[in-house]
Amino acid sequence: MSIKETDREIILTHPTDETTSVRILKYGATVYSWKLKSEEQLWLSTAAKLDGSKPVRGGIPLVFPVFGKNTTDEYLSKLPQHGLARNSTWEFLGQTKENPLAIQFGLKPEIANPELTKLWPMSFLLILTVELGADYLKTAIEVENTSSSKVLKFNWLFHTYLRIEDIEGTMVSNLAGMKLYDQLLKESYVDKHPVVTFNQETDVIYQNVSPERAIQIVDKGVQIHTLKRFNLPDTVVWNPWVDKSQGMADFEPKTGYQQMICIEPGHVHDFITLAPGKKWDAYQLLCKEDLKYQAIQ
Ligand SMILES: O=P(O)(O)OC[C@H]1O[C@@H](O)[C@H](O)[C@@H](O)[C@@H]1O
């Protein structure tokens, strides 16, 4: 059977290759494992809580309706960092496609975390589609404003933790020449480096990254992950390095920052505003592709 449902999760196995699978928790609709030909592609902390007591440290947590901690909006500012989608239990809606195999999860205020919807009393419907291909994983989101009178204002982000071998031998290509906001320096500037490399804590938001640019994670000259995006103009690049990892109780092992890099496609630099009854959609696609350096404009 290609789809297995338990109380806490859904496990998809590729119909023609049982070494390719994806596991999704109902809590947060969090993809927490993606094995491609037996090899795990995502990073997951060994101390991650998978019991619904806390957002998952690893995999692909979903960030909605706010990225980070908002301080200005009347309602969004009341929500915890990264919103309410990653700490709500979603409804499993079932299979939508057989080949490639796809399933859906839904979230609406009636079933979302009541402590949080109380703080952000908006009408919305989120549909997450997870599609498992023989050589890719696609996560697609549709947001609908189900209110008949109020505008829905939100951020969206796939908080993707990719597994890598060694952060110091890793680089990220095709972000050069982009404007970024450095969340640590609290400064904006244009990244003039030909590739992104890592030797300290990094927390930056690249803005207006063209969808034509496939973001590639390269380990010692070899492509290990390729990330494609639709309707997600911003890309957050995050690695907590030594001190920040020490401060996160659910980040284990403490040396784990060497084996992970978060490349997070989203719409976070500004808010999406949806008129009553309207829908917005976006996706990220993780795959493998030959190394391709794209021209810097
Ligand atoms: O600890 P959290 O809430 O999961 O956030 C982890 C990180 O998420 C990243 O998206 C942010 O850019 C970082 O600033 C943040 O530290």
Give tens-digit pLDDT for 218-245: 999 899 999 999 999 999 999 999 999 9
Q: Which residue has the higher pLDDT, 1 or 136?
A: 136
Instruction: List all residues whose CB is within 6 A of at least one atom of ligand 1.
Output: 81-82, 159, 183, 203, 236, 238, 264
Residues marked as catalytic: 159, 264
pLDDT at 296: 56
Atom number of ligand 1 nearest to Cα 57: 4
pLDDT at 43 over 60: yes
Confidence of residue 294 (pLDDT cuts 50, 70, 90): confident
Strands across the sheet containing 39-40: 3-5, 9-14, 17-25, 30-36, 39-40
| Residue with CA at minimum distance from ligand 1 atom 3 | 81
Atom number of ligand 1 nearest to Cα 81: 3
Residue 68 alpha carbon to ligand 1 centre in Å: 7
**ipTM score assigned to the predicted complex:** 0.98
Handedness of CA 225, 229, 233, 234 (dihedral sign): negative
pLDDT at 297: 52
| Residue with CA at minimum distance from ligand 1 atom 4 | 57
pLDDT tens digit sequence for 59-90: 999 999 999 999 999 999 999 999 999 999 99
Known binding residue 57? Answer is yes
Known binding residue 81? Answer is yes
pLDDT tens digit sequence for 154-187: 999 999 999 999 999 999 999 988 999 999 999 9
pLDDT tens digit sequence for 241-293: 999 999 999 999 999 999 999 999 999 999 999 999 999 999 999 999 999 88
pLDDT at 1: 62
Alpha-carbon distance of 15 to 98, in angstroms, equals 9
Q: Is the previous residue joined to 65 through a cis bond, with omega within 30 degrees of 0?
A: yes
Residue 101 alpha carbon to ligand 1 centre in Å: 31
pLDDT at 8: 98
Known binding residue 229? Answer is no
| Top mutation candidate among 56, 57, 60, 82 for ligand 1, by most atoms within 8 Å of CB | 82
